[in-house]
Amino acid sequence: MELSDEQRALQSTVREFAEAEIAPHAAAWDRNGTFPAQTVRKLGDLGIMGLPFPEQYGGLGAGALSFAVAVEELTRVDSSVAITVAASVSLGGTPILAFGTEEQKQRWLVPLARGETIGAFASTEPGMGSDVQGAETTARQEQDGWVLNGTKAYITNAGTELSSFVTTTAITGQRDDGRSELSTFIVPVGAPGFVPQKPYHKMGWHASDTRELSYQDCRVGTDALLGERGGGARVFLSTLDGGRIGVAAMGVGLAQGCLDQSVAWANQRCAFGQPIARYQAVSFELASLQAQISAARSLVYRAAALRDAQQRHTQEAAEAKLIASELAVHAANVAMQVHGGFGYIEESPIPRFYRDAKILTIGEGTSEILKLVIARNMGLSV
């Protein structure tokens, strides 16, 4: 699938921005756990923070494929910035775009698209991630709104100086079939009883904000309900379809970053009197990686194009994420091997890529859950 001229121009713009504004700082942000708020604002100026949103909500109306291209380019240089953008747009903003009222869209999406704020999505809890039916966070209806109680775990983007809302799933009752009735709420950061905890010490994504959230009799208005009461599972599944394309684009970008670093290194590093690229054990490994990246990128583009055409893309998004995230882990491993000892030293970007890769096979659906989605779509009775 070929990109349009506009998408190619966007790709170049984001690549130049990433090389000039992110690459020189990525190692220090990673080392110090610095959230790059200023970079997010600049990405807002470029239109990236609202790229797929319609113009009336501050976006560029560019669609999912363009967004995937931008996310890939960011991840090629730095995953922390990329996940901040991907989570804000795909997890924070997109459910509001898909299910929100006009008032909710104007209130939450416009500043988000400008890069003045970022959004978050909170589903996971200490006791469950994959199994949404295992949620324990509740929302009780009162006369003037809702009262939330519970804990969410591993939530991206919820505690930074730019964080403005956390789209939160909660149980609002029991359905006739005995299952939990799940609903979704837009919880403003700063709402009474909303208590972000300290950030986690993570293996990677050091410059991205991830923390636990407590809802302690957290009061929100009636206008906080996103979509209809009981529609939480629909919001969750539709959000994940888009989010998985973003994570898949991150997988391709991280793999491409590893490959680009490795090609440059292989051509300049000499062993036994010649560049290591002359050894087929090295260059065939990189050639193979190139082919796998092209294949994974095609899966991402296909899923994004289907989303843009408003066609079903659950299976395609799952396939793209499964393949691209596993490829990212493989690519980081190859890059470290090709770099030899230098690949293990934090002066090179390879350890950062290596640490940042693994989460892609876990967040927004583990590889096993994606296989479950694909198997069920194939008609297998798993």
Closer residue to ligand FAD, CB minimum distance, 85 or 259: 85
Closer residue to ligand FAD, CB minimum distance, 10 or 182: 182
Write 48-51 long-range contacts (CB < 8 A, 24+).
Answer: 48/14, 48/85, 48/115, 49/85, 49/88, 49/89, 49/112, 49/113, 49/114, 49/115, 49/118, 50/89, 50/93, 50/109, 50/112, 50/113, 50/114, 51/89
- Two tokens at 181? 């009735």
Judged by CB under 6 A, the number of residues near ligand FAD is 24
Answer whether 325's CB lies under 8 Å from 299's CB.
Answer: no
Closer residue to ligand FAD, CB minimum distance, 7 or 197: 197
Max Cα distance, the chain (Å): 79
Closer residue to ligand FAD, CB minimum distance, 244 or 313: 244
Smallest gap from Cβ 239 to ligand FAD, in A, equals 10
Piece in contact with ligand FAD (CB under 6 A), picked from 67-75, 123-131, 259-267, 313-321: 123-131
What is the number of other CB atoms lying within 10 angstroms of the CB of residue 109? 26
The residue from 49, 74, 155, 255 that contacts ligand FAD (CB under 6 A) is 155
Smallest gap from Cβ 204 to ligand FAD, in A, equals 8
The residue from 17, 35, 121, 301 that contacts ligand FAD (CB under 6 A) is 121
Element (H, E) at 330: helix 314-339
Q: What is the DSSP letter of 126?
A: T
Residues involved in catalysis: 364
210 lines the binding site for ligand FAD (CB under 6 A): yes
Smallest gap from Cβ 80 to ligand FAD, in A, equals 10
Point out the residue whose Cβ comes nearest to ligand FAD.
129
The residue from 62, 87, 148, 247 that contacts ligand FAD (CB under 6 A) is 87
Per the listing, tokens 């363009």 go with 66
* 170 backbone dihedrals φ, ψ, rounded to 5°: -150, 155
372 lines the binding site for ligand FAD (CB under 6 A): yes
What whole-number distance in Å separates Cα of residue 159 and Cα of residue 180? 28
Residues 349-368 within binding reach of ligand FAD (CB under 6 A): 359, 362-364, 366, 368
236 lines the binding site for ligand FAD (CB under 6 A): no
Smallest gap from Cβ 336 to ligand FAD, in A, equals 21
What whole-number distance in Å separates Cα of residue 281 and Cα of residue 261? 17
- Residue 92 CA from chain centroid, whole number: 10
- Two tokens at 76? 């090629």
The residue from 3, 27, 46, 128 that contacts ligand FAD (CB under 6 A) is 128
> Rule CB under 6 A: which residues touch ligand FAD?
87, 91, 120-124, 128-130, 154-156, 202, 205, 210, 359, 362-364, 366, 368-369, 372
